[in-house]
């Protein structure tokens, strides 16, 4: 059976950090109690949740009580949009979502928000995948409830002008949701945005996910700024101060906190490592016939390189690379199997033909220059591309 030797799909998920696995172990066995119960084994779980909340809050400059645990980034994104919608259900109103959001934002905006009676506009990116603040300002209405914009795109890596968009939102009294799934642990990130010493805006809601930073799958968080008007999406219990029902995944949350601590303490060196790998790959891609790098002239998250291989089907290339022991992506893992080309690349103006030839390499802490050279050798002709 073929086994992956080289893993280049870290934007989809990351290997579990050893420290996270070790931190989780006691809460899978010895400290198994329900954190909502009153006895000793449960109090250990409750203390672990409180400590983890404080640690995860640090990575985005939040207060601990502003962090609410979820089952992952998708739930957090859904909650951000639909929680605000439920809080404004009687008045209805208007939402703005960018055309290049992850499906966890894009699809609820396309369907559920409209089914609930809200108007939705989709902000256009430029050809490099940047959503400019002028575009957000153009779409804002007096009844706009929320703007949702990801910090870094999961398919092409473009970093969005969050500070400028936050400023527009604050000036218009509109809530701002940031999907930070691809940014935490790779770029500096804070829930408040400054110009010099002046606070000009901030995220009112922010999506975080554990498994993108070498934490466990199935655990996420939603940052909810104090005073933000929102409602619970999952109901049936008083957990998370009544914000999200359901027994907390204590072991997973502890693992999330361990991964967050590592990511925060090693941010600069980790980002530099990722950028070195990406630059080495892109220098090599210039020598690969038919390769075109996407969004290479704008700020990007350091771990993502998206490129087109002209006259090649991305799925076919990925399968041949898999046979060679190399795993990489063809876009969002959450959209794999879709027959339609990427909605992100379509919004950026790429033709369906080019969009179906797009590949994504995303790096992690475990990757090396030698692995990049192996990929370049394969793309350079060893498998007949």
Which residues fall within 8 angstroms of residue 121, CB to CB, at 6 or more apart? 94, 95, 96, 97, 139
CA distances to 35, 236, 247, 261, 347 from 54, rounded to whole Å, are 16, 25, 19, 10, 38
- Residue 65 is classified by DSSP as G
- Which tokens go with 103? 């499906």
Q: With CA atoms as reference, report the closest residue to 79 among 245, 297, 213.
A: 245
Distance CA 218, CA 72 (A): 5
The crossing angle, in degrees rounded to 10, of helices 250-265 and 40-58 is 30
> Facing residues of 309 across strands?
291
**Cβ proximity of 211 and 220 under 8 Å:** no
Which residues fall within 8 angstroms of residue 275, CB to CB, at 6 or more apart? 302
How buried is 268 (Cβ within 10 angstroms: 0-12 exposed, 13-18 middle, 19+ buried)? exposed
Reported as type and span, the H/E element at residue 317 is helix 314-323
Distance CA 88, CA 204 (A): 16
Catalytic residue positions?
334
Order of all β-strands in the sheet with 220-224: 67-70, 220-224, 205-209, 175-179, 144-150, 94-98, 119-123
The crossing angle, in degrees rounded to 10, of helices 18-28 and 250-265 is 160
- Please state whether beta strands 198-202 and 192-195 pair in parallel, antiparallel, or not at all (unpaired): antiparallel
**Cβ proximity of 120 and 148 under 8 Å:** no
Q: With CA atoms as reference, report the closest residue to 35 among 25, 26, 24, 44.
A: 44
Cα 120 → chain centroid = 22
Q: Which residue has the tokens 């290479």?
A: 296
């Amino acid at each position: 059976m073929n086994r992956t030797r080289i893993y280049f799909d870290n934007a989809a998920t990351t290997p579990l950090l050893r420290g996270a696995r070790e931190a989780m172990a006691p809460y899978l066995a010895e400290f198994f109690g329900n954190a909502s119960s009153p006895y000793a084994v449960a109090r250990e779980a409750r203390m672990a949740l409180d400590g983890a909340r404080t640690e995860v809050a640090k990575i985005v400059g939040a207060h601990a009580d502003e962090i609410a645990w979820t089952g992952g980034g998708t739930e957090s994104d859904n909650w951000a949009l639909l929680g605000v919608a439920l809080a404004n259900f009687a008045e209805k109103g208007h939402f703005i979502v960018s055309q290049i959001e992850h499906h966890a934002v894009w699809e609820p905006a396309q369907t559920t928000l409209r089914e609930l009676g809200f108007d939705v506009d989709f902000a256009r990116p430029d050809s490099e995948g940047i959503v400019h603040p002028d575009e957000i300002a153009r779409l804002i209405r007096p009844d706009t409830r929320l703007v949702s914009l990801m910090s870094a795109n999961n398919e092409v890596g473009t970093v969005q002008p969050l500070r400028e968009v936050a400023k527009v939102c604050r000036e218009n009294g509109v809530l701002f949701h940031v999907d930070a799934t691809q940014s935490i642990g790779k770029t500096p990130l804070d829930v408040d945005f400054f110009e010099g010493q002046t606070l000009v805006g901030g995220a009112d809601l922010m999506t975080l996910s554990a498994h993108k930073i070498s934490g466990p799958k199935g655990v996420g968080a939603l940052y909810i700024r104090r005073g933000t008007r929102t409602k619970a999406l999952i109901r049936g219990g008083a957990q998370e101060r009544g914000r999200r029902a359901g027994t907390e995944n204590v072991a997973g949350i502890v693992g999330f906190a361990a991964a967050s601590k590592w990511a925060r303490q090693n941010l600069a060196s980790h980002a530099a490592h990722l950028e070195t790998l990406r630059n080495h790959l892109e220098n090599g891609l210039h020598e690969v016939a038919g390769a075109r790098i996407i969004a290479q002239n704008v700020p990007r998250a350091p771990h993502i390189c998206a490129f087109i291989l002209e006259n090649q089907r991305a799925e076919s290339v990925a399968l041949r690379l898999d046979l060679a022991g190399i795993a990489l992506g063809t876009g969002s893992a959450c959209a794999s199997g879709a027959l339609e080309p990427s909605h992100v690349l379509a919004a950026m103006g790429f033709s369906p033909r080019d969009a179906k030839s797009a590949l994504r390499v995303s790096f992690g802490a475990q990757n090396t220059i030698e692995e990049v050279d192996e990929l370049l050798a394969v793309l350079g002709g060893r498998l007949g591309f």
